[in-house]
């Protein structure tokens, strides 16, 4: 299992949102860090095939990002997760299960499993418009896992989760990372410390750090802050 990002760039008029990124990812959890506007979301959108790179290629086990087959192994939770307020949680998941090509009987079983996994089984028949922010986020995580994806892209997945839910989420991600490639972005450095096997840091569209980070390397938060110290100097 290998995701190859080869010399990928995205240019908007005079701004290079993602600047010639090349990286190979294998099964495991990858934490993507970077300040606002660093290009994390743009990179993730390109990895999901919903934004075309200006140059470069993205392939998963040789399958190009633009192909239908690529999307069959993909699970995605966007940063600005949208939902249908009038749908129940169960309907929402069944709808996306259908979009992900899961047969109806299998979909019903999977939806029940996932509702239970994200502790929403009691509110499966309730409309999403009545959900709290944390419940919506858990529903978003559930939809990303519907098709047992091999490539899981999670943009700010812990936003809105309370500390208890966050711990549960970390455990889930750890489990998923054994058989899948999980790429998650967050502003919360401690999340990355606890979950990710590998850390990727982006700055101004470029990948400025890639590698394992454990306690022997020092403190990740301090390391991260030193990378952006020049801009963040308010003195």
Binding residues (CB under 8 A) for another protein: these are 12, 45, 48-52, 68, 71-72, 74, 76, 78, 80-84, 86-87, 91, 94-96, 98-104, 143, 147
Beta-sheet strand order (sheet of 28-34): 74-77, 151-155, 181-185, 28-34, 198-203, 206-212
Report the candidate in 154, 194, 195, 170 with the shortest Cα–Cα distance to residue 28.
Answer: 195
Q: Between residues 13 and 163, which has the closer beta carbon with respect to another protein?
A: 13
Token reading at 32 = 């993507």
User: Minimum Å distance from CB 150 to another protein?
Assistant: 13
User: Minimum Å distance from CB 157 to another protein?
Assistant: 14
User: Minimum Å distance from CB 32 to another protein?
Assistant: 17
Bridge-based pairing state of the strands 74-77 and 151-155: parallel
Q: Between residues 36 and 233, which has the closer beta carbon with respect to another protein?
A: 36
User: Minimum Å distance from CB 87 to another protein?
Assistant: 7
Report the candidate in 43, 144, 36, 126 with the shortest Cα–Cα distance to residue 86.
Answer: 126
Q: Between residues 38 and 94, which has the closer beta carbon with respect to another protein?
A: 94
Q: Between residues 48 and 192, which has the closer beta carbon with respect to another protein?
A: 48
d(CA 180, CA 174): 10
User: Minimum Å distance from CB 83 to another protein?
Assistant: 7
Report the candidate in 222, 216, 187, 176 with the shortest Cα–Cα distance to residue 40.
Answer: 187
d(CA 198, CA 67): 27
User: Minimum Å distance from CB 180 to another protein?
Assistant: 16
User: Minimum Å distance from CB 20 to another protein?
Assistant: 20
If phi > 0 it is left, if psi is from -120 to 50 it is alpha, else beta; for residue 182 that is beta
Q: Between residues 103 and 218, which has the closer beta carbon with respect to another protein?
A: 103
Q: Between residues 49 and 134, which has the closer beta carbon with respect to another protein?
A: 49
How many angstroms separate the first and last alpha carbons of the chain?
47
Q: Between residues 99 and 167, which has the closer beta carbon with respect to another protein?
A: 99
Strand partners, 59: 4, 64
Bridge-based pairing state of the strands 55-60 and 63-64: antiparallel
Bridge-based pairing state of the strands 55-60 and 28-34: unpaired
């Amino acid at each position: 299992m290998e995701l190859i990002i080869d010399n990928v760039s995205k240019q908007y008029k005079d701004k290079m949102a993602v600047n010639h990124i090349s990286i190979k990812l294998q099964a495991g959890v990858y934490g993507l860090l970077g300040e606002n506007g660093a290009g994390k979301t743009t990179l993730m959108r390109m990895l999901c095939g919903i934004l075309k790179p200006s140059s470069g290629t993205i392939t998963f086990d040789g399958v190009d990002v633009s192909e239908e087959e690529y999307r069959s192994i993909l699970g995605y939770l966007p940063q600005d997760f949208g939902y249908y307020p009038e749908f129940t949680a169960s309907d929402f998941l069944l709808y996306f299960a259908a979009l992900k090509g899961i047969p109806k009987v299998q979909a019903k079983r999977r939806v029940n499993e996932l509702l239970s996994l994200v502790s929403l089984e009691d509110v499966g028949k309730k409309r999403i418009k009545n959900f709290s922010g944390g419940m919506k986020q858990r529903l978003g995580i559930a939809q990303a896992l519907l098709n047992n994806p091999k490539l899981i892209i999670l943009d700010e997945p812990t936003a809105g989760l309370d500390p208890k839910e966050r711990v549960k989420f970390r455990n889930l991600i750890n489990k998923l990372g054994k058989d899948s490639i999980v790429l998650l972005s967050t502003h919360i450095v401690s999340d990355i410390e606890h979950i990710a096997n590998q850390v990727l840091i982006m700055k101004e569209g470029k990948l400025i750090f890639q590698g394992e980070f454990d306690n022997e390397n020092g403190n990740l938060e301090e390391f991260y802050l030193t990378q952006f110290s020049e801009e963040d100097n308010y003195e």
